[in-house]
Structure 1
């Protein structure tokens, strides 16, 4: 029963994150079309979507290797549906922000079993070779555009992590200062 409670708590937390993301997306309308505030907001949304994806992976993992009291087939299917529905929402939100980290490798780089360039040139004349070269260049340009989207998404995540680290550093410094003050007060009070 404890693992079941853990799963429910994890699911509720993931659902709360999804609700937060929806709220943040709604807030986005009130922000200017561009600018640092808009970029920070978009980065925060992307970060939350990534966190949600990680939580959903964890929920899926808990379902695949249950511990404790076994679940009925009906309950297992219900939970799988709950995760699938939440993952569908996460994928929709990710696609709205062109987040390629939710896409698989093949959609980014293409399948690994592509024909090699030499086998594609067999039987082509000069004009066919030029046409093939143009097609290859077009494919490469599309790949670079997808790569650019990935790099931009990574940049936004890195900026959000940097902001978070700066905040944590300030909080730790404040805590350290408060501890020093409290320590000196305790020393003064213990002397009396």
Structure 2
């Protein structure tokens, strides 16, 4: 198994740092864009740059995920390192969903404003006896309004698809976090069982030590008693011998 490079030269870690920097750049540009009027050229220019950087960010995050899976499958990194890098990639995916929502929220505001401007007032047209600009009267609408409505529908459909994709990615991340939580819970239960077994072994060892101490004390007391009996017997023999001599 290859050793993990902790010297800061690991290509994966360098790419991860690059993704982090790119995320910060996108957030800074989003902040700058929100300060500009929606109809200004600066706003449009920043939006185009942000869109390009977002695509680049999503692609780099996918590449990081693929490289982690390949390294884990080929056992070029330890299981713990693979788990840590997987969590880092999931954080990058969450940030991807975050910037996508921030970008789309402003675009949704613009779409709502455009829809409000294009929506006709029924009372105004009723006064002059003309037909209102409803979606169902496409044939009576001017060509530029029909194109705007079609573009708006296409844009809304695309935004909904992107939001669904973002929610799907977020759901995968949440499922992954839930799986990690279950794994940690299982590990904690296993460690608790091991600790309980160790406690039982310690209790049994304490009981054996207590019994052994009592046995030693009993043997020691018996040894002292035998000494007293020997002295008594010697004294009796001495008395008998002295009596016979007299």
Please, what TM-score do these two structures have when normalized by structure 1? 0.48
Q: Which has the larger radius of gyration?
A: 2
Greater RCO (CA < 8 Å, at least 6 residues apart): 1
Please, what TM-score do these two structures have when normalized by structure 2? 0.39
